[in-house]
Structure 1
Amino acid sequence: MKSYRLFLTTLTVTGLLLSTVPLYATNVSAASKQTASQEVETMTERESEHNELTISHIDAHVKDAALQAIREIAPNKVVELNEVVLLPDNRYVIYSKEKDVDVTVEQSGKVRSVNVQFKLHEVDPSLMDMVKGHLQQMDAKRTYTFDKITRSKAHFSNTDRYSFMGNNKLFVEVNAKSNLITYVSTEYAVNGVEKSALDTAKTAIKQFSGKDVAFDKALRVQVGSVDLWKLYDLKADYVVNIEANMGNVVSILAKNKYIAPKQGQTKKDVFAVPFYSSEQAINAANSMVQQLFNVQLSGTSVDVKLDMYTFTKQGQPSIRGVINSKGEFWQFKMLETR
């Protein structure tokens, strides 16, 4: 069975995914939609809080550093620098006249980040063909169009990525150094999901939550070699992730089982003393884990961190579950094979 560790630190596609994707798909993702502009505040904030200048107000070495940073990631793009914003910590954010480029530079001339938005004809044809080919391989029945393509390089975090955005909330991230696709997400109508995956998700959520849940939204998500169908209701109270190729459940969440801490209490207060011993946790989770993941928990070692119980055994996938204050599991996630 493939390892899912690759999904551990990827960014989320939408805010819904922060709490609903498998453990290996979180953070996901926050990284997936973050760009090097994370150090740059929004235009509205800048207008009200920071000093706005023009390019003539800054030293030549700062302007030259900005232009060099742009040329490094967009050598064929014609750029005219125009507006400059001085941030409270004395960094400059320099914008192009067309507002399709921004560069954050320290007064010393050290570049912190650069972001460039491309028109379609400005993108390297081989890169565009590679992305289109991957999407067609993913689903040849769909038509994909792009409405925004950017490249973001953050010198402070040593990241350099292309982002392709388009119809059906399409988002593709490409590592600009390796030219490898690292993340893909696109929205589907629920009836556009493979029937076997949809049936598996419906059965799993009924087993786990005790409810007949009507899924309202669906995403197809790829991170590295992991390929998922994500199905959820409007509020993301019920979420199931299905491995697209194998058709098996990899995570599930049912918020009808969630119990929030009492007012004034924290999770640390509620679970300061483990709710279950290892043997009790295995007994409480085993039947449902077998139904959902076809994994037997007997003989597993159990790691406990507050409300999270991780079941590990050599030669089979690790399973992580989250309990409520009554000891009921309301989340399960498959991690990886040991």
Structure 2
Amino acid sequence: MLGGDFLTDPTHPKFLEEYLLVGVTKLPLLDQMSDSKAERMIFVMKKQTLLSISMLALLVSAAASPFPGISSTVHAANNAPVPAAAPKMITIAELDKKVVDAAAQAMQQLAEGKPIVLERVSGQNKDCWVLSAKDDRGEVLIAKSNGDIVSMRIRFKLDEVNAALKATVMNTLKEMDAKRSFNIREVERIKWEKQNIWSFNGEGVNVALEPGTGKVLHANAEYEAAQVPAAVVQAAQQTLKGLSGGKQVPLAPSATLYKNPQEHIDNLWGLSDKDGKYVVGIGAKTGKPLSVKMLEQISGDNFVFERDIPKVFAKPFYTIEKAIDAASPAVKKHFQIDLAGYDMAVQHDTYTFTKKGKPTVIAQINKKGTFWSFLVTPENGLAN
């Protein structure tokens, strides 16, 4: 397996760090997947590719407990056999009252005036406890060693949320697809070391907003492949054919309309082949291929966790001349752009190619120097 034994051991603290803390409540147990499926799943979670939720489901062979790497009484009862060495579950009364009170107070600060009463220990692994609030209001993850808060999640009904935030969410979704009727069913306030967001979720739809400013961080809406415009499907199939050496490969059964200004994306259709080897992004307005990702190039020994990227790529892998030589064939093949005369800036694994009056190309390499991801944006603009 890639990256070490902890990827197959949900009780390992590094497993907890990589998967529990991202604020995702239902992830697969990686030891129930093949290596290739696990690698692609990790990539999707860490890099936020254009794969849709249902495409992720193709990679999942089993559902985990509400907190991966965390045992719970309900999960244990319904999913025998229980590991013999599972930590003993305790009651909330057995925890340090100061720790519980501090956790409740921290959650209260995010709860928009809604009362937070922590009533039970709902899960654990060897490093952390999960405390659940009354009326399913949310959970907080605290470290066993010192009582520090690791992550928090508070749930709201839609009518409990500030009207301006709701308006931003609905306006964003309507800008993405004016014809579709969107229904938000769940709102969550999520906070941990690397994420602090409002998350609005519905059937096949998610929008994340920045607390305080209300700015859209990212949004995506899921579609069946048959619902995607025919011209977009045709462009995706043609690009996938080029990625697969001229072979016609079947599309995955779903696609995602995706927005992420932080990643230079305004509005792209994300489509994948059925096996999840490639992801292509087609501009919702332009109808042109603007993004390709070759996921096999970052699997196995080539996989690097996001937190390790600054260390692994501390020194630039390429000079400008060699970077252009390495990236040019794919850029010309998939986007019909000639990188001759382009300038280059590099940050860790990301190479940005710019030229006055020309589109910008943002590309990423694996640790062997192979370019595996490309995104084309207008000069000083967002891909669309």
With the length of structure 2 as denominator, give the TM-score of the two structures: 0.61
The reply to whether residue 80 of structure 1 matches residue 117 of structure 2 is: yes
Aligned counterparts of 2:116 and 2:131: Cα–Cα separation in 1: 12
1:88 Cα deviation (Å)?
4.1
3-state SS of the aligned residue for 2:268? Answer: strand
* More displaced 10-residue stretch of structure 1: 204-213 or 227-236: 204-213
Structure 2 counterpart of 1:292: 334
Q: Given the alignment of the two structures, is residue 240 of structure 1 paired with residue 276 of structure 2, yes or no?
A: no
1:175 corresponds in structure 2 to 210
Deviations 1:93-135 (A, max 9, x none): 3222444422234686654432112233333333223212221
1:28 paired residue number = 48
1:182 partner SS:
strand
Match of residue 158 from structure 2: 120
Contact 1:40 1:93 in 2 (8 A): no
Q: 2:70 aligns with which of 42, 49, 61?
A: 42
Change in Cα spacing, 1:198 to 1:96, as seen in structure 2 (3 Å) is same
For residue 361 of structure 2, what is the amino acid of its counterpart? S
Match of 1:67 in 2: 104
Residue 90 of structure 2: SS of its match in structure 1?
Answer: strand
Distance 1:39 1:99 in 2: 15
Q: Which secondary structure state, in structure 2, belongs to the residue aligned with residue 214 of structure 1?
A: coil
Specify the code of the residue in structure 2 equivalent to 1:166: G
User: For 1:208-287, what aligned pairs fall within 5 Å after superposition?
Assistant: 208=243, 209-216=245-252, 217-224=254-261, 226-253=266-293, 286=328
| Alignment CA distance shift 1:301-1:82 (3 Å) | same
Label 1:186 to 1:56 Cα distance change in 2 as closer, same or farther (>3 A). Answer: same
Identify the range of structure 1 (223-232 vs 237-246) with the bigger mean alpha-carbon deviation: 237-246
1:318 to 361, 365, 368: 361
Q: What aligned pairs does 1:120-159 form with structure 2 within 5 A after superposition?
A: 120-154=158-192, 157=193, 159=195
CA distance in 2, matches of 1:147, 1:213: 35
1:292 counterpart SS class: helix
- Matching residue within 206, 231, 234 for 1:196: 231
CA distance, structure 1, for counterparts of residue 99 and residue 299 of structure 2: 51
Partner Cα separation in structure 1 for residue 120 and residue 345 of structure 2:
54
CA RMSD of aligned residues (A): 4.8
User: 1:41 deviation in Å?
Assistant: 4.4
Instruction: Indicate yes or no: 2:96 matched with 1:54.
Output: no
Q: Give the stretch that moved more between structures: 134-143 or 118-127.
A: 118-127
Deviation track 1:111-168 (CA, whole Å, cap 9, x = no partner) reads: 44321122333333332232122212221211222333211122xx264212222212
Does the residue aligned with 1:104 lie in a helix, a strand or coil?
strand
Amino acid aligned to 2:211: A
Distance change in 2, residues 1:313/1:286 (3 Å): same
Distance 1:292 1:50, change over 3 A: same
| Maintained 8 Å contact 2:72/2:124 | no
CA distance in structure 2 between the aligned counterparts of 1:66 and 1:280, rounded to whole angstroms? 52
Partner of 1:206: 241
Of residues 92, 103, 108, the one that matches 2:140 is 103
Q: Which has the higher strand share?
A: 1
Residue in 2 that maps onto 1:93: 130
**Aligned residues, how many?**
303
Fraction of identical pairs, as percent: 26
Residue aligned with 1:234, SS? coil
Q: Whose radius of gyration is greater, 1 or 2?
A: 1
**What CA distance in whole angstroms lies between the structure 2 residues aligned with 1:103 and 1:214?**
42
Is the Cα–Cα contact under 8 Å of residues 202 and 213 in structure 1 kept in the other structure?
Answer: yes
Match of 2:33?
A: none
For structure 1, the residue ranges without an aligned partner over 5 or more in a row are 1-10, 268-275
Please report the TM-score for the alignment, with normalisation by the length of structure 1: 0.68
Q: Distance in 2 between matches of 1:43 and 1:252?
A: 38
Q: Secondary structure at the match of 1:50?
A: coil
